[in-house]
Chain A
Amino acid sequence: MKEKQIKQFLGYNVLRLCIIFVILILIVILYDILSKGARQISWQFLTSAPKNGMTEGGIFPAIVGTMFITVITAVFSVPLGMGCAIYLNEYAREGKTTRLIRMAIRNLSGVPSIVYGLFGVALFVEGMKMGTGVLAAGLTLGLMTLPWTVTASEEALKTVPKSFREGSLALGATKWQMIRTNVLPYAIPGMLTGTILGLARAAGETAPILFTGAAFFLPFLPKSFSDQFMALPYHLYIMSTQHHAIEKVRPIAYGTALVLIALVFLMNLSAVILRYHLRKLKKD
């Protein structure tokens, strides 16, 4: 009996060490970026373009660029993802096609981001002659985000109780009327939250935009869909590996990392807040 208890005590403590270690990893990451990045943050850093061979100045074009492509990503992948989820959850019958669609979604979410980059080059930049720019990069990121959008939207649709649908159908509504009036209003908060989380991930991606439109340095903002752009993740990559005076621009790299993480967290936070408010709105 005694031995059993000792074993359990030791075992649980090993597990406890595991989780403490994981939490420590996160603390170290956040502490390092926050403590060293915060010194760099100033109004001027956030609102001006890089200067003097990118050794001074701010990251304004990169912030705007990232927001710009995230919007394109959203415009492309959110409606398509929601449509796909509606099909899977509301219309599809279990069968070969449905199984194939589900398999495709799971596989798409496992395709490496650099392969999406190659696909973007082959399809958008070269195949459709878009050239490298905001549109090609946004669409490439949109493709990458699609499986996440579908999964999140389907999860949201699944939470709508069956009785909502049956009630509507029993009153003589057509399927689409039922979806529009009795399913979507309840599922949309969850769908939005899930898709914003996906978009936050897309905003931090670098590999898919390396060859589809991200630019090393541009003092101005993109004006049309075929313009190249600066992006936060790409800027961080450049500042930490490709710059001619790497040690000197470390603070800028830290600042960029902090802004990037902050942007991703803000998007996550807004998703959670949005869900909260939309839920409350419906209860009233």
Chain B
Amino acid sequence: MIHKFREKLIQIFFFLNGLSVILILGGIFFLLLRYTWPAFKEIQMAEFLFGKFWDPTAYVKPAYGILAMLMSTFMVTVGALTIAVPLGIGTAAYLSDVASPKVREIAKPVVEILAGIPSVVIGFLGIVLVGPVIAKLTGTTNGLNAINGAILLSVMSLPTIISLSEDALTNVPKSFQEASLALGGSQWQTLILVKIPAASSGIVAACMLGMGRAIGETMTVLMATGNAPAMPSKLTDPIMTMTSTIAIELGEVPYYTTHFYGLFAIGLVLFIITFIINMVSDIILHRYERQTRY
């Protein structure tokens, strides 16, 4: 009897451990919401979402519009994906289709090490390595702008895209490949016309997770994009993303002011965006798993 009781207790203990993650996710959402709420006593929701100017410290009329930051985040993210998606899928395809076991042995740690480099180090290299090159090419002073951020973010999202796309490609059933080869297709045709389409949902999910990383990345964009809070019009403009705005201003703002709450509101927007991206990529992945079960 005591035995049974103890077993039950242990099971409950582990169950509570399991529940903790739901609690934490819910807690993050709840606290962000609670700290965002007071901001909208002073800020109009329409101004917040569609206002072009973010100037909470203005003397006469503070402005709380996040449109420029949203655009900035969007710009670096799209830029990063433009580089990282083809490069990442190409690498994954090479690893799954062409590479000898030896090359794979080398490539795997390369991807892992790349994933392990702290974002602050990548941001530092954006200042000392990428920045000067961009400055020379575009004739700007320090090369800290949207392109720089996009290049760095592509490096940061590459490992995610490569490893998940490769998983998707290797999970394509052998029978698909054999059918294509038996019909006289070349290896290359099989890759392009059979394997990649069959793995497409996995690859799309991989790219979306890479996108999520790029949107939420803070230190690299904070250090390498120049942080000018204005609506960007071209890729060589210095920009200030949502993440960098929080990182810069939370350190200086007096707590429990509208400005302070406003920063939590930006955090909430970030949370919701990444949450949606995660859910959608999850749904795509599940569809993909069902597809490949044949």
Residues on A facing B (Cβ under 8 Å):
4-5, 7-8, 11-12, 14-19, 21-23, 25-26, 28-30, 32-33, 80, 83-84, 86-88, 90-92, 97-98, 100-101, 103-108, 110-119, 121-123, 126-127, 143, 146-147, 150, 174-176, 200-201, 203-207, 210-211, 233-234, 236-237, 240-241, 250, 253-254, 257, 260-261, 264-265, 268
Contact = CB atoms under 8 A, between A and B. Distances in A.
Contacts of A264: 116-118
B82 interface: no
Contacts of B26: 104
A100 B215 CA distance: 24
Contact of A143 (B24, B120, B192, B246): B24
A25 B84 CA distance: 12
A79 B227 CA distance: 40
Nearest to B212: A110
A86 B10 CA distance: 11
A244 B286 CA distance: 52
A123 B27 contact: yes
Given A84-B18, A104-B22, A110-B212, A7 B188 contact: yes
Interface in B73-120: 86-87, 90-91, 93-95, 97-99, 103, 106-107, 110-114, 116-120
A15 B196 CA distance: 13
A15 B124 contact: no
Interface stretch (B40-48, B55-63, B125-133, B173-181): B125-133
Nearest to A7: B188
A225 B49 CA distance: 40
Contacts of A92: 18
Dominant SS at the B interface? helix
A29 B271 CA distance: 30
A86 B91 contact: no
B202 interface: no
A184 B119 CA distance: 34
B14 interface: yes
Given A113-B216, A240-B124, A22 B87 contact: yes
A114 B221 CA distance: 12
B7 A174 contact: yes
B25 to A, nearest CB: 4
A211 B35 CA distance: 16
A237 B248 CA distance: 12
B216 A15 contact: no
B119 A204 contact: yes
Contacts of A203: 118
A117 B86 CA distance: 32
B11 interface: yes
Given A15-B94, A237-B223, A110 B274 contact: yes
A171 to B, nearest CB: 15
29 contacts: A5-B186, A12-B94, A15-B91, A15-B93, A18-B87, A23-B107, A29-B114, A29-B117, A80-B17, A91-B15, A100-B22, A101-B18, A101-B19, A104-B26, A106-B278, A112-B216, A113-B218, A122-B31, A123-B31, A127-B31, A150-B21, A176-B7, A200-B116, A204-B119, A207-B119, A237-B123, A240-B223, A253-B124, A260-B120
B24 A104 contact: yes
Interface in B133-191: 155, 158, 162, 186-189, 191
A23 B18 contact: no
A16 B209 contact: no
Contact of A111 (B13, B14, B271): B271
**Closest A-B pairs by Cβ, 8 of them:** A112-B216, A204-B118, A83-B17, A18-B90, A8-B188, A87-B18, A15-B94, A87-B14
B98 A15 contact: yes
A19 B275 contact: no
A22 B216 contact: no
B251 interface: yes
Given A19-B99, A206-B119, 15 more contacts: A18-B91, A22-B87, A88-B18, A107-B25, A107-B275, A110-B275, A111-B275, A112-B215, A114-B243, A123-B27, A146-B21, A175-B10, A176-B7, A176-B10, A201-B116
B39 interface: no
Contacts of A113: 119, 216-218
Given A22-B158, A91-B11, A121 B124 contact: no
Contacts of B186: 4-5, 7-8
A112 B243 contact: yes
